[in-house]
Amino acid sequence: MTSLGIGLIGTGFMGKCHALAYGSVKAVFGDVPATRLEVLCDVPAEKAEAFADQFGFARATSDWKDLIADPKVDIVCITTPNKVHKEMALAALEAGKHVHLEKPMALSLEDARQMLAVAERTGAKTIVGYNYLHNPAISHARKLIADGAIGRIVHFRGMVDEDYQADPDLAWTWRATKADAGLGTLGDLGCHLISLATALVGPVESLVAETRTVHETRPMGNGSSERRPVENEDIASALLTFENGVHGVVSTSRSAWGRKSYIGFEVHGTEGMITFDQERMNELRLYQNRGELAEQGFKTLLSGPAHPPYGQFVPAAGHQLGFNDLKVIEVHEFLKAISEGRNAVPSFREALHFEAVIHAIAEAGETGSRVRVARAD
């Protein structure tokens, strides 16, 4: 395998993130196949041409089916609004392409199941864009837990918040509809927290939850007197029971003034605790009930070369990895999986569990009942 051709659909925030990652991963890691930025797709055609030039793609198109059909494209990156994830992913898989899909997988759990079935039938490799999972600090937290650094895990507490929907006068968009976006804050933000909870503690078995829509209508435009309804949730909270018996509490809001991509969690053990705050994403805090009582307390673990693959980017702690660096690590995982013939993490199979949990939270919020999380198989 000498090189892999990349086709990118979408040029927004995540599209640019993908372009940067695939363009730099070989330079950062060195141990992956070279990538060729072959085709970029967006609408209108003029926009596609401009971004193809900016991002360094060989050609542009305004037809995503044309991108998928191109024999030079080996990996299709889908960074589009949620409603077209399923159609594009299925078409790419059936064409024999590997798929790098931004979350959530689809509008419904049934659609996500269908996507997994096609991926496993075709043998194509898949990965879903849960880039926070690839933070070296998170990887080290998983190692600490596996090594018994805080004893037996008994509780997980987490929250993920933004304020991009906090303003009641913000104009209505596709994100407010179930037909275009599916879930609200659960699909945008909550799934990230569930991915971390699952990685640190394990799969979720059942839950109870409440959801709320804070702003029930939004104006059709700036200053417009016409308003349209918001169909999905702005906030959600859930009590989780993990398959291993651990108890958990999670909450998410897209209407939390002052929060900017905030993710925080605590993992409680019988012998200590691990805490993480995304606003200080290069740090973990660790408490261990060991040693002299007068000297016990939380200590800060600063990410550095001892926390792979941090050292591939910079040679010393304190230089700080950022959001786009996590996407480079994610792309590295995907390219290694393709070249080694194994499944990437998280593939459609792992991501289906995250989808099952957020849809269970939505269901529990509507019914007021405990909901068992559907299994992937």
Q: Are residues 54 and 154 in the same domain?
A: no
Q: Are residues 170 and 280 in the same domain?
A: yes
- Print burial letters for 123-161: b (CB count within 10 Å at least 16), e (below 16): ebbbbbbbbbbbbbbbbbbbebbeeebbeebeebbbbbb
Q: Are residues 42 and 174 in the same domain?
A: no
Residue that terminates a domain, selected from 131, 162, 185: 131
Q: Are residues 269 and 301 in the same domain?
A: yes
Residue 121 phi, psi dihedral angles, 5° rounding: -70, -40
The residues near 169 (Cβ < 8 Å, ≥ 6 apart) are 218, 219
Is residue 321 included in any domain, yes or no? Answer: no
The residues near 91 (Cβ < 8 Å, ≥ 6 apart) are 65, 68
Is residue 328 included in any domain, yes or no? Answer: no
Is residue 40 included in any domain, yes or no? Answer: yes
pTM of the model: 0.96
Is residue 323 included in any domain, yes or no? Answer: no
Per residue of the chain (377 residues), give pLDDT as tens: 689 999 999 999 999 999 999 999 999 999 999 999 999 999 999 999 999 999 999 999 999 999 999 999 999 999 999 999 999 999 999 999 999 999 999 999 999 999 999 999 999 999 999 999 999 999 999 999 999 999 999 999 999 999 999 999 999 999 999 999 999 999 999 999 999 999 999 999 999 999 999 999 999 988 888 999 999 999 999 999 999 999 999 999 999 999 998 999 999 999 999 999 999 999 999 999 999 999 999 999 999 999 999 999 999 999 999 999 999 999 999 999 999 999 999 999 999 999 999 999 999 999 999 999 998 76
Q: Are residues 287 and 156 in the same domain?
A: yes
Is residue 343 included in any domain, yes or no? Answer: no
Q: Are residues 158 and 113 in the same domain?
A: no
Q: Are residues 268 and 138 in the same domain?
A: yes
Count of domains for the chain: 2
The residues near 314 (Cβ < 8 Å, ≥ 6 apart) are 321
Q: Are residues 189 and 260 in the same domain?
A: yes
Q: Are residues 214 and 250 in the same domain?
A: yes
What is the radius of gyration, based on Cα positions, of the chain? Answer: 21
Report the CATH number that the domain containing residue 250 is assigned in CATH.
3.30.360.10
Q: Are residues 120 and 155 in the same domain?
A: no
Q: What is the pLDDT of residue 377?
A: 67
Burial of 231: CB neighbours in 10 Å, binned 0-12, 13-18, 19+: middle
Residue that terminates a domain, selected from 73, 102, 131: 131
* Count, residues in the chain: 377
- The closest alpha carbon to 166, from 225, 233, 224, 214, belongs to 214
Q: How many CA atoms lie within 13 A of 255 on its CB side?
A: 19
Is residue 228 included in any domain, yes or no? Answer: yes
Count of H-run helices and E-run strands, the chain: 10, 17
Q: Are residues 100 and 151 in the same domain?
A: no
Q: Are residues 127 and 142 in the same domain?
A: no
Q: What is the pLDDT of residue 1?
A: 63
Residue that terminates a domain, selected from 131, 162, 194: 131
Report the CATH number that the domain containing residue 127 is assigned in CATH.
3.40.50.720
The residues near 208 (Cβ < 8 Å, ≥ 6 apart) are 238, 239, 364, 369, 370, 371
Is residue 122 included in any domain, yes or no? Answer: yes
What interhelical angle do 323-340 and 13-29 show, nearest 10? 60
Distance between CA atoms of residues 272 and 144, nearest Å: 11
Domain ranges, residue 222: 132-315+348-372
Is residue 46 included in any domain, yes or no? Answer: yes
